[in-house]
Structure 1
Amino acid sequence: MLTPSDKALVPFVSVDHMMQLIHHVGLPAMLRGLSTYIADDFARWEQFDKTPRVASHSAEGVIELMPTSDGETYGFKYVNGHPKNTSEGLQTVTAFGLLADVDTGYPVLLTEMTLLTALRTAATSALVAKALAPRGATTMAMIGNGAQSEFQSLAMMAIAGVTHVRLYDIDAGATAKCAHNLADTGLTVTTCTSPEDAIEGAQILTTCTADKAHATILTDNMVGAGVHINAIGGDCPGKTEIAPGILTRGDIFVEYPPQTRIEGDIQQLPDDHPVTEIWQVLAGQAQGRTSDRQITIFDSVGFAIEDFSALRFVRDQVRNTAFFHPLDLLADPDDPRDLFGMLSRAKG
C-alpha cells in the first residue's frame, strides 16, 4: 500500500494482478460493479471533457488514445485494433490506461486494460440491454465468438437477466472455444451453424466481428420487430456489421455522436440521421424502448468515459490490497527545482 508520502510511486496493476483482482472480487460482481460505475458517470455526463478518440489508422488496423476528465481526475486509454493479429497469434485488441490527479498532474494509477476493456465493454452492453431490450428478454444471439464473446454472455447474465446464449462464428473452432468456456457458468448454450439459426428466438442480437470491412452480419430481412441489437463490432471507419435497412427501421442509441458517426454502423447513414445518446436514457432525460415491436439498436464503439469509469473502479478496488506494484515512474528530486542535481548524484 502507498502512503501520501509515496507520490512518486504510481500503483501499477499488471495483467497478473488484474486476473487476481477479478478472481478476488468475482467475475459477476466485477461486471456489476463496473456497470454501476459506468451508470454513475453517465449520470454526470455533462461534467466531462468529451472528444472523439485520437486515432492513427493504417491498412492493418488502428492505434487510439481515449482521453477524458471530470475536472478532478484525468484518464486516458491507449488501445489498438488489428484484426490480422489473431492469425499471427496476437490479440486483436490490447490496451493500457492511466488515471491522474488534475490538481497536481501526478498519475495515481497505471493499469493493463486488455482484460479491463473486455470487462467494461461487456458491462456497458449489458447495462444498455437492461434499459433497451424487450421486457423479460432471456435469450441472446452471440454472433462472433472471439475474445469478447464470453464476457458479453456473462455480463448479459449477471446484469440483464439473460439465461440462454446462441453462438455462431464463421470459424467453428471459435464457437467451440466459447461454448467450452461458458460450460458450467449457469448459461444454457446452443451452438449454431448460421447467423439465421443463431437469432432464432433471441430477443437480444449481439454482433462482435473483427474484420475491418463493410460487412453485413445482419441483413435487413433477418431482423424482425421487437428485438434489441447490441452492435459492438463496427468500431472504426470502414468497418460495419448492420445493413442500412435495419438502421433506418430501428431507433439508434449511441455513446457520443461525433465519434459514432465516424466509427460506428451509422457511418453508413447521413450525418443528420437522428440518434439518441444513451446517457440521456439512463439519466431519465430521453425515452428508450417504447413498444413491444420497436427495434432498438445500440451502436456502440466504446467511449473514454466508460474507460474512466473502469479505471475509477479498479483504483477503488486495489486500495488496501496487494493487487498492484508500486512503480517508480516519476522523478522525485529532494529539491523539485534541481532535477539535474538528482541525475548528477546518481552517477556516483
Structure 2
Amino acid sequence: MSAVNHNPEPSELAYVPFVSVDNMMRNVRAIGVEKALMGIAEYIEEDFLRWESFDKKPRIPAHAPQGVIELMPTSDGKTFGFKYVNGHPENIRDGLQTVTGFGVLSDLATGYPVLLTEMTILTALRTAANSALAAKYLAPKGSTTMAIIGNGAQSDFQCLAFKEMLGITEIRAYDIDHSASLRLARNLADSGLNVTICKTPEDAIEGAQIVTTVTADKKYATILTDNMVGSGIHINAIGGDCPGKTELHKDILLRSDIFVEYPEQTRIEGELQQLPEDHPVTELWQVFAGQVAGRTSDDQITLFDSVGFAIEDFAALRYVHDLLPKTGHFEKLDLLADPDDPRDLYGMVLRSSPENGNQAA
C-alpha cells in the first residue's frame, strides 16, 4: 500500500514532491524499464483486487475535432488521485506528442497533495503494464509471438512488458509508416526480443498468439478484419480509446469473449461502441480476483478492450510515490501557501520576502 503520511508535520506540507520529465526518466533508468513495468503491474493488480473500495466514474472529457482532453479521478477513501491527459492524433504532424499528461496524488484527510508528477512517460508504462497483466490471465499459455500493429510511442513499452511478464520472444511489427517499425526494431535491438518488420497487417499476425493493436487515428478504422483472426488468439486492443475511434471489425467482437476495465466507460470509448448496450462483457477485476474465469479453452478468442481507467493511474501514482524515497529523483515544489497563521493568508502576501528583498507596504 502507498506510504502516504496521514499525520504529517505542518512544515512537511509546505512543499509537494514533484517529478519532472527529467526526473521520471532518472527514476526509470535507476531501476530499469522492465522492473518499473513489473512494479506498476503489481500495484495495478493490488488495486483491482480492492475494486469495491474505489469511487468509480467514466473519465470527464472535453472533445474537439482535433482530439480530446480528459480528467481521470478516483479515490479509495483515504487517498485521492487524478490524471490530466490529452489525445490528439494529428499532433505528430507538428512534431508534438499525441498523448501528454500529468497527475496528482492527495491525502483525503488534509486535502493536501503529496505528489505531482509528469504522466506522459508514466502513462506509457502503466498502459503496457496493464496490457501484459491482463494477458497473463487471458492469453494462451506458453505464448512466444506477439504481433504489434501500430509502432508509435507506446509500442516499445508494450513489447518489453510482454517479454518480461509473459515470456514473449518474437515481435512481428507493422505500421503504415515504415520508419516507425524501423525505430521500434532499433530501440529493441538489445532487449532480447527478435523483431520482424512486416509489410502488411496480415503478415504481422501470421503465427502470433497475441495481437496488440495500438494505432492513433481518431476514426472508425478496421485494423483487423474478421477473416484475419483465427481461433485461440488473444487480442490486446488499445487504440480504440475515445468516442468515434475503433480498430476492430464488429464481427471480431461477436466471436470474442470481451474483457474490460469499467463497462460504463468502455461502452462509450472502446470497441464496444459498435455493439448494443446489453452485450455481455467480463470485468477484469473479477478475473484477477478469481470470481470469473479468463481463458477457458484453446480455441477461445479473448479480447481485452482496453481504454485505460483511473484506478490504473492511481496505482501508477502510488508506485511512483513509494519509489521516490528509494531513488531520490524528485524536486520539492513550492506549490502550497504556508502562512504562519492559517487564517492570515493576506498577511503572508504582505510580509517581507527574504528571497527578493521586497518589504511589506
TM-score of the superposition, structure 1-length normalised?
0.98
Choose from 331, 336, 341 the match for 1:330.
Answer: 336
Residue equivalent to 2:270: 264
Question: Following the alignment from structure 1 to structure 2, what is the Cα–Cα distance between the partners of residues 68 and 271?
Answer: 24
Residue of structure 2 aligned with 1:289, choices 285, 295, 304: 295
Number of aligned positions between the proteins: 347
Task: Mark the runs of 5 or more structure 2 residues left unpaired by the alignment.
Answer: 353-357
User: Secondary structure at 1:52's aligned position in 2?
Assistant: coil
CA distance in 2, matches of 1:243, 1:281: 25
User: 2:355 aligns to what?
Assistant: none
Q: CA RMSD in A?
A: 1.0
Deviations 1:216-265 (A, max 9, x none): 00000000100000000000000000110000000000000000000001
Q: Return the alpha-carbon distance in structure 2 between the equivalents of residues 85 and 258 of structure 1.
A: 28
| Bigger Cα displacement from structure 2, 30-39 vs 337-346 | 337-346
Match of 2:184 among 165, 178, 202: 178
- AA of the residue aligned to 2:291: Q
Matches within 5 A, 1:145-294: 145-294=151-300
Residue in structure 1 matched with residue 85 of structure 2 by the alignment: 79
Any idea what SS the aligned residue of 1:46 has? helix
Residue identity (%): 68
> 1:292 & 1:269 partners in 2: Cα distance?
25
Give 1:8 deviation, angstroms: 1.3
What is the distance in 1 between the residues matched to 2:213 and 2:50? 29
Q: Tell which deviates more after alignment, 314-323 or 282-291.
A: 314-323
1:342 aligns with 2:355: no
Deviations 1:282-322 (A, max 9, x none): 11111111100000000000000000000000000002542
Question: What is the letter of the counterpart of residue 261 of structure 1?
Answer: R
Matched residue SS, 2:90: helix
Three-state SS of the structure 2 residue aligned to 1:319 is helix
- Letter of the 1:317 counterpart: L
Structure 2 match to 1:61: 67
2:118 to 112, 116, 135: 112
Paired residues of 2:123 and 2:313 also in contact (CA < 8 A)? yes
1:37 maps to 43
Q: Quote the Cα distance in structure 1 between the aligned partners of 2:51 and 2:304.
A: 18
Shift of 1:43: 0.3
How far did 1:201 drift?
0.3
Which of these residues, 134, 145, 161, is aligned with residue 140 of structure 2? 134
Separation (CA, whole Å) in 2 of partners of 1:93 and 1:309: 19
Q: Which amino acid aligns with 1:15?
A: V
Using the alignment, how far apart are the partners of 2:165 and 2:43 within structure 1?
A: 13
Q: Give 1:106 shift.
A: 0.2
Which residues of 2 match residues 294-305 of structure 1 at below 5 A? 294-305=300-311
Give the one of 103, 114, 119 matched to 1:97. Answer: 103
| Unaligned ranges ≥5, structure 1 | none
Contact 2:140 2:234 in 1 (8 A): yes
Q: Alpha-carbon deviations, 1:15-34, whole Å to 9, x = none?
A: 11100100111111110000
115, 129, 141: which one aligns with 1:123: 129
Aligned-partner Cα distance in 2 for 1:274–1:145: 31
Q: Secondary structure at the match of 2:131?
A: helix
Aligned mates of 2:198, 2:133 — CA distance in 1: 26
CA shift digits 1:81-138 (9 cap, x unpaired): 0000001000000000000000000000000000000000000000001110001111
Report deviation, 1:332: 0.5
Distance 1:209 1:38 in 2: 24
Secondary structure of the 1:7 match is helix
4+ runs deviating over 3 angstroms: none
What CA deviation, in whole Å up to 9, does each residue of 1:59-80 have, x standing for no partner?
0000000000000000000000
TM-score by length of structure 2 reads 0.95
- Partners of 2:330 and 2:45 in 1: CA distance: 26
- Retained in 1: the 8 A contact 2:30–2:327? no
Aligned partner letter, 2:315:
S
Letter of the 1:294 partner, please give it.
Q
